[in-house]
Amino acid sequence: MAQPTDPAAPDPTSTAPPVPPALPPGRPLSPGVALLAVAVAVVNLLVGGVLTAVALTGHVLGAWPSPEPLSPGLLGAAMLGTAPALFALARAATWQQARTLVLPLTVVLAGLFAVSLVNAHRLYIAEGGPIVSVLFSLGWLCTLGLLCTAAAVCLAGQAFTRSGPPPPRTLSLPGWAKPALAVLGSSWLGIGTGLLVRPGFWADFVPWQTNRVDAQALGVWALALGVGVLGSLAEDDLDRTRAALLSLPGTALATAVVLAARAAHVDWSSGPGLSLIVMVAGLLAAGASGHFLLREATTGGEATGNAAGPAAHRT
């Protein structure tokens, strides 16, 4: 005789579908983006170091002729200044911790490659010159093309990375810093856009002698700095912008060294010269204050944890 069964009881023969494990908060940083950051950091150290060293000796080296060593030297200084931040970016765990530096990096790669292509007839490989400059020009164009292609592939892979729940913001920017960051980022973004789009007009605002390609290349870096500063402001979390914060003082200090070495060739008494001092000092102040606030928050958290430990034992 069949025994009655409880319809609410689970069927022992049925198998429940496995529950997928919960994803950690945030979108994981893809290995491709981390490798891209390391590759660009290595290129920045090598190429940026060469450009900076040659400019400090008073000579010109670049992919195109420049009337003054200062412009290629500043391009090299920007590359050197961002290299440590790119190495740090490769250790980030989530996309949220990396995007404030990856997006400016993409602007630099795509912008410099576009400027090189638009002005291809002005490069040494087109108009000739010393063999070292011709080979440097060829390597510059090929390297930028490869890095741009790699960046497009890596960012596409990052977009398809499975994301977990949105991570909380743990350390918001202080209110007093936001207006200053907005002004600083807008200043770099504005001058960079002007140099890139209308170099014939905005090159007159550069307090040393430049040509069209120099102005546009400097504009790309200025635009990327503006994107990075404003992106950090929009992110509103110091913990997420650790790598980006590291790039600011590095770029400011490397730029200051090149400017100091070529100080006699800069019109410091002009409005653009004074503005440049303020903008570079702003980068240094933003990076230094951000690291100070991060260190204070970390030290305060550790002190709170250490104080809570003995109290818990007493209870």
Instruction: Convert the pLDDT of each residue in 106-125 to its tens digit.
Output: 999 999 999 999 999 999 99
Sequence ranges of the domains in the chain? 31-160+173-299
Query: What is the percent of the chain where pLDDT is above 70?
Result: 87
Helix axes 177-197, 271-314, angle to 10 degrees: 140
Instruction: Convert the pLDDT of each residue in 134-192 to its tens digit.
Output: 999 999 999 999 999 999 999 999 988 887 778 788 888 888 889 999 999 999 999 99
Here the contacts of 240-243 (C-beta below 8 Å, separation 24 or greater) are: 240/96, 240/97, 240/100, 240/169, 241/100, 241/290, 242/88, 242/92, 242/97, 242/294, 243/85, 243/86, 243/88, 243/89, 243/92, 243/97, 243/98, 243/100, 243/101
Output the CA torsion 67→71→75→81 (10° steps). 140
Sign of CA dihedral 130, 131, 136, 142: positive
The full length of the chain comes to: 315
Residues with Cβ < 8 Å from 138, sequence gap 6 or more?
Answer: 125
Closest to 246 in 3D by CA, of 106, 84, 107, 92: 84
Q: Report yes or no: 64 and 124 within 8 Å, Cβ to Cβ.
A: yes
Task: Label residue 24 by pLDDT band (50, 70, 90).
Answer: low
Q: Which pLDDT does position 55 carry in this prediction? A: 95
Closest to 73 in 3D by CA, of 90, 85, 57, 97: 57
Q: What is the mean pLDDT of residues 82-99?
A: 90
* pLDDT of 70 over the 90 cut: yes
Q: Report yes or no: 66 and 211 within 8 Å, Cβ to Cβ.
A: yes
Q: Which pLDDT does position 219 carry in this prediction? A: 96
Beta bridge partners of 94: 28
Closest to 56 in 3D by CA, of 71, 73, 81: 73
Q: What is the mean pLDDT of residues 265-293?
A: 92
Task: Label residue 20 by pLDDT band (50, 70, 90).
Answer: low
CA pair distance 110, 90, nearest whole angstrom: 20
